[in-house]
Structure 1
């Protein structure tokens, strides 16, 4: 029986790919004079911003500076963000069923305030773990383990829903099932290791005992 559902945000609850990629492209062009095509930045999706920036600098101080610039640029492109179709309806149904919901995200606390809270989904979640809460991040299991600890959920009764390989690796390292959100995921043969594959948000209801 599933008693707790943990969700990733970017690529799972919200379509923010253009926001993140365009804002990083702008940052790298402004600060590093680098012009990179979109496909060269796909690797940033699903990992903390500072970790992604390690590809462009080995200096901690420069990475911190670039991250600040990136965060500011994200706000310029937020009009590209949207909640995936069917997500609001799914969360509403899960709330009616009294299923405890949590978020485990690579966003920081600061990013949550500007990039998630304005969209009106926060009230659905009783447990929130961000990149600000753990030293290690996905694909490490620490973020999911913390969410399980905070929610009191048993591993055998929890599912993590995400769209990236990092999400799947984190879930499996934590010892819980992973459900692939195909609507936000990019094709990858490694997703054959997913425990559940969801074509659309409403499919998740099939795995909840009513």
Structure 2
């Protein structure tokens, strides 16, 4: 095998959720009197919500995130895996590949939002944003995962849909595959080693 470990981002890599997240953050910020175009939020998905809101000048970001959690929970039935994700994850597990997630969600968000996706919820390797001082695009969350789960850096692949995911992989010195099925079409992934057009491409990359 080319890789023994595959780590994934969650939003818009495994789950088709970025549009919902962007919409809920915008609605919350609008209530606080901060008006930014929806596309500005969408371009920043992959970073913690607190960072996005703070960058836009939302002072009461905690209140926005509290409302976001309620709205997200009410909209859970809208969310699905991308087509091909479940077969891809099952194929990797059948190959004895260690599979985990490194996400910009904190643990409370992860536990609340991922219960509807048991394959992710039952992963033994989960790194949430509150486990390191610096979230993505810092390499700290991936480096933390390597150390905590005793993963060999050269045998680890990180898969994500955003520029922030690519930067995190580069900063952690692990190979990166862009999940093109969830990525924004205009983003340029110059530091990606692989471009996966479909989830099954990840299985082929690992072999």
- After the TM superposition, which of the residue ranges 38-47 and 160-169 deviates more from structure 2? 38-47
Cα 1:51/1:35, change in 2 over 3 Å: closer
Structure 2 equivalent of residue 25 of structure 1: 26
TM (normalized to structure 2)? 0.92
The 1-side partners of 2:205 and 2:83 are apart by: 20
The 1-side partners of 2:63 and 2:91 are apart by: 42
The 1-side partners of 2:101 and 2:148 are apart by: 11
The 2-side partners of 1:30 and 1:98 are apart by: 48
Structure 2 equivalent of residue 94 of structure 1: 92
CA RMSD of aligned residues (A): 1.8
Instruction: Report runs of 4+ in structure 1 exceeding 6 Å deviation.
Output: none
Q: 1:130 aligns with which of 128, 131, 135?
A: 128
- After the TM superposition, which of the residue ranges 104-113 and 20-29 deviates more from structure 2? 20-29
Cα 1:78/1:26, change in 2 over 3 Å: farther
The 2-side partners of 1:14 and 1:55 are apart by: 25
TM (normalized to structure 1)? 0.91
SS at match of 2:56: coil
The size of the alignment, in residue pairs, is: 206
Unaligned 5+ segments in structure 2 are none
Structure 2 equivalent of residue 150 of structure 1: 148
Unaligned 5+ segments in structure 1 are none
Post-superposition shift, 1:205? 1.4
SS at match of 1:128: strand
Measured against aligned partners, the alpha-carbon deviations of 1:157-176 in whole angstroms (never above 9, x if no partner) come to 10000000000000011000
- After the TM superposition, which of the residue ranges 159-168 and 106-115 deviates more from structure 2? 106-115
Structure 2 equivalent of residue 50 of structure 1: 50
